[in-house]
Amino acid sequence: MVKVFKYKKEYAIKSHEADCHGFLRISSLMNILQDMAAENADVLGLGFAVCHENNLAWVGSNYLIKIQKMPLMNEKIVVQTWPAEAKLWGAIRDFEIRNESGEVIITASSQWVLVDYVRHRPVLLKKYFPNYEPLNERVINTDFPKMKEVSEPYEVSVFKVRFDDIDLNRHVNNAVYPVWASESVDKEFRMKHMVREIELAFKKEAVYGEKIEVLTQMSAEESLHTIRDCSGKDVLAICRIVWSEITSS
């Protein structure tokens, strides 16, 4: 059995990972979290290669990300991740990001389901990884409660799934959904505000070439987004974003 530990890595924020204000992009943050999750899964013997041999895939179902300070271009950060809790059909993985001074600036919790991608069904975690032992340490105490959908949209935005949006599973990568959501708020508001919290619940996969629509509802400095196919039949994801005004960059 592989000993479970907190997997740690240092990143330097590159220019292409920063937005027009110099802060780390939402998509770049999501990609860093996914990279860390994948690398740690490989170390623990339950990564992409092992899963692929057994027709399995880890599918993200939920994220909760809390941002105290978004790192700036050229800033160095230290990212930690670990298996936080085991579930019947998957697991919870948590993250912690510190700046160069050692201050915790971002915390995140994520929930993943282990899926048989041939049968398109979740499978029991212990059946395939009987020695999986989490640290049972949570950085955010959440059970990922059910998220409400948009009831009174003030805006409906339409996007088309690009080739660059899909991942190895040939579904839209998790990092794309909060980008769609953030792109659906008012332009003037978006230019003056930055993300402080992201909550995501994934419902159904989106695929290459598909047209999707984002229903957006605003309340003070919080936006709620229902992401669905353009027929309105299937909800693909729900996203909630808490914003704060940019005071400096």
Same domain, 194 and 222: yes
Cα 11-19-206 angle, rounded to 5 deg: 90
The residue from 145, 172, 200 where one domain ends is 145
The residue from 145, 161, 178 where one domain ends is 145
- For residue 2, is pLDDT > 60? no
The residue from 101, 125, 145 where one domain ends is 145
Q: How many domains does the chain have?
A: 2
pLDDT in tens, 159-188: 999 999 999 888 999 999 999 999 999 999
Looking at residue 230, which CATH number applies to its domain? Answer: 3.10.129.10
Same domain, 135 and 155: no
Same domain, 170 and 76: no
- For residue 1, is pLDDT > 60? no
Residues spanned by the domain of 128: 1-145
Residues 6+ apart with CB under 8 A from 77: 10, 11, 12, 13, 71, 97, 98, 99, 100, 105
pLDDT in tens, 71-106: 999 999 999 999 999 999 999 999 999 999 999 999
Whole-model pTM? 0.94
Same domain, 84 and 14: yes
